[in-house]
Amino acid sequence: MPGADKEADLTERIEAFLADLKRGGCGTGPIRGSGETARETTALLRKVTAQARWSSAGDLMEIIRKEGRRMTAAQPSETTVGNMVLRVLKIIREEYARSRGSSEETDQQESLHKLLTSGGLSDENFRQHYVHLKANVIEAINELLTELEGTTDNIAMQALEHIHSNEVIMTVGRSRTVEAFLKDAARKRKFHVIVAECAPFCQGHEMATNLSKASIETTVIADAAIFAVMSRVNKVIIGTQTVLANGGLRAVNGTHTVALAARHHSTPLIVCAPMFKLSPQVVITTVVRNRIILSKVNVHCPVFDYVPPELITLFISNIGGNAPSYIYRLMSELYHPEDHDL
Amino acid sequence: LDETQVRQDPEVPSAVAAIRTLLEFLKRDQSETILGLRENLTQTIRRLEEADSSVAVSSGGELFLRFISLTSLEHPDLSQCKKVMVERGELFLKKISLSRSKVAKLCHTFIKDGAKILTHSSSRVVLKVLESAAADKKRFTVYVTESQPDSAGQMADKLQNLNIPVTVVLDAAVGYIMEKVDLVIVGAEGVVESGGIINKIGTYQLAVCSKAHNKPFYVVAESFKFVRLYPLNQQDVPERFKYKADTLKAVEDLAEEHPMIDYTPPSLITLLFTDLGVLTPSAVSDELIKLYL
């Protein structure tokens, strides 16, 4: 039966995705970039919306939440998966509200205003059935996918405003976003880049090779030399794995060092991060990998660093530049507070 | 009416008691026009403030007045308006009675196992947070400041009843103890527009010390404590909040009196836990604007 075939195909794709996620996080660093993860997650959720059996928005949200929980459980350190699930849930809520005819304002988050004026305890259970809801939700998810595809280009387009000629820029490890950002600026300006190699995986080496292929003057330095070199640096531009709700970062190990050194020398710290990396979490548990190199010594090797928001000057995302203190606002526009704990 | 309410239930925050009183007053009020109603209410609020001059009563009163104006805009007919107001008022009271538990649910995840917490004076919200954390089987120790001039020994007793190890420290010993502590949690009597807080005297000191030692400084407050003030320094806080109501009436020269509260600027606060969610200090003014504009 064609219906059963499609369902089997869907579960197969989900299983394959989960297995891939589990593999992607271990070994020598993430194999896939977070952009691809975000796109694949969204495409998968679109397939779920199209093929799963649901009659009301509430059912669909339950299905998405269930799948979301499975996906985040497969690889908890890959927060983009969870973020995309939350985006889709918000899309469903918005389309439902639009179908009902109520303006988007009334279903917005808790506020003092809402406490005072709401007529009754809102038990929105999303039970109503609307004929066009499926089509609307799928269309909205397609828009989301287009947005995701354009994020790196949107960020790179802003490069010329921030990088000036003869500047010395420092970066840490390897970030595809920062690479595109710097390459775009290199088309019209001449500047130097210093890359911290970021031991023990030394992804900075790959970054330096790619940048020099684009004819940018690059220097690789060891992590220990970051503070020493910082006095000659004009700007620090870094990528990150996640942007937290309080404006802080969860970035590759070594970023906190760079941030503190930059603060000490009053060097601006710019973070290039697309919106899909914004996560509603505030507390993050450290991900650690232990390697036993000698039999009696235990090596503690944290993968990520927490960088507090006070050390960051500017966030450049696909929707423009923002201060860290504004992140809470962007988050309230992307996600609904009731979904924060999947 | 208010005195009896407050004495009946020491668990009820003063703002909630004020709002309950105002709602009762609303039910019994005989005025014919909205303007008359507003005037009577303003008078009542002033009388309540004379009885208890805390920031919370003032913010509760203003919130209620705002609530009246918003409702009266929707229903110009007075009798219908009153019915809606009373209904919504009851609902509002029910919602805010749940707010303390909402705050506790948000905050207790930030308390890790083995944490050492420093708190100031006696706050029922902080107590609820620590209660939820203890119920979650977390082990932690608490240091409470003595908080003169009306020492908050009650906080220590209540914590001991919950089987949480607690130590009372002198107000002057805050700097000494700060290096041992992992995080600081305080309540607030009022949250101002800038994202700063107004709380028992000694809180500012605590915040400066924790900033110097790089310890997170968390504030737990319900949303009805948001107040429309924007103090730039300690002197900007209005005199009527700084001293107890009896002192204001009795004493001529306030320069001789010790203030009971101080203002902590937002730059020293890490996060605010409210029933509207976990907010950074910059998000507070956003919430206030949504309400008042």
Q: Which chain A residues have a beta carbon less than 8 Å from that of B280?
A: 246-247, 309, 325, 327-328
Q: What's the pLDDT score for residue A48?
A: 87
Q: Name the nearest CA neighbour of A227 among A236, A214, A217, A215.
A: A236
Picking from A116, A120, A247, the nearest residue to B70 by CB comes out as A116
| CB contact A310 to B (< 8 Å) | no
Q: What share of chain B is helix, strand, coil (3-state, %, to 5)?
A: 55, 15, 30
Q: Name the nearest CA neighbour of A316 among A253, A256, A235, A261.
A: A235
Give the pLDDT band (50/70/90) at residue B217.
Answer: very high
Does pLDDT of B214 surpass 60?
yes
CB A216 within 8 A of CB A186: yes
Q: Which chain A residues have a beta carbon less than 8 Å from that of B71?
A: 117
Which residue type occupies B231?
Answer: P
Q: What's the pLDDT score for residue B173?
A: 93
Give pLDDT tens digits for B220-276. 998 888 888 899 999 888 887 887 767 777 777 777 778 888 999 999 999 999 888
Q: Which chain B residues have a beta carbon less than 8 Å from that of A327?
A: 280
Give the residue with greater pLDDT, A338 vs A227: A227
CB B124 within 8 A of CB B225: no
Give pLDDT tens digits for B33-55. 777 878 888 888 887 777 776 78
Q: Name the nearest CA neighbour of A207 among A244, A169, A243, A154.
A: A169
Q: Do A112 and B96 touch (CB under 8 A)?
A: no
Percent of chain A with pLDDT over 90: 42
Q: What's the pLDDT score for residue A107?
A: 47
Q: What's the pLDDT score for residue B208?
A: 96
Q: Which chain B residues have a beta carbon less than 8 Å from that of A112?
A: 63, 223-224, 226, 276, 287-288, 290-291
Pairing of strands A249-252, A242-243: antiparallel
Q: Name the nearest CA neighbour of A241 among A254, A230, A228, A232.
A: A254
Which phi and psi (to 5°) does residue A127 adopt? Answer: -90, -15
- Name which of B282, B285, B292 to mutate to probe chain A: the one with the most chain A Cβ atoms within 10 A of its Cβ: B282
Search chain B and give the residue with CA nearest A113: B291
ipTM of the complex: 0.76
Q: Which two tokens stand for residue B22?
A: 């105002």
For A:233-272, CB contacts with B below 8 A are: 245-247
At residue A287's C-alpha, the angle toward residues A284 and A291, to 5°, is: 165
Residue A341's contacts (CB-CB under 8 Å, 6 or more residues apart) are: none
Q: What's the pLDDT score for residue A124?
A: 60
Size of interface A-B (CB pairs under 8 A): 64
CB B243 within 8 A of CB B260: yes
What is the pLDDT averaged over residues A37-66? 86
Give pLDDT tens digits for B136-163. 888 999 999 988 877 666 788 888 888 9
Q: How far is A320 from chain B (nearest CA, A)?
A: 19
Q: How far is B141 from chain A (nearest CA, A)?
A: 21
Q: What's the pLDDT score for residue A118?
A: 56
Q: What's the pLDDT score for residue B211?
A: 95
| CB contact A326 to B (< 8 Å) | yes
Give the residue with greater pLDDT, A183 vs A287: A183
Most confident of A134-138, A176-180, B97-101, B124-128: A176-180
Does pLDDT of B183 surpass 90?
yes
| CB contact A55 to B (< 8 Å) | no
Strand, helix or coil for residue B141: strand
Which residue type occupies B200?
Answer: K
Q: Do A116 and B224 touch (CB under 8 A)?
A: no
Q: What's the pLDDT score for residue A183?
A: 94
Q: Which chain A residues have a beta carbon less than 8 Å from that of B110?
A: 283
Q: How far is B216 from chain A (nearest CA, A)?
A: 11
Q: Which two tokens stand for residue A56?
A: 């009301």
User: Which of A223-227, B14-18, B101-105, B245-249 is the least confident region?
Assistant: B245-249
Picking from A113, A282, A309, the nearest residue to B290 by CB comes out as A113
Picking from B226, B283, B288, the nearest residue to A328 by CB comes out as B283
Q: How far is A316 from chain B (nearest CA, A)?
A: 19
Q: Which chain B residues have a beta carbon less than 8 Å from that of A333?
A: none
Q: Kindly report the three-state secondary structure assignment for every residue of A33-99.
A: CHHHHHHHHHHHHHHHHHHCCCCCHHHHHHHHHHHHHHHHHHCCCCHHHHHHHHHHHHHHHHHHHHH
Q: Report pTM.
A: 0.83
Does pLDDT of A103 surpass 60?
no
Does pLDDT of B194 surpass 70?
yes
Give the residue with greater pLDDT, A296 vs A43: A43
Q: Do A116 and B286 touch (CB under 8 A)?
A: no
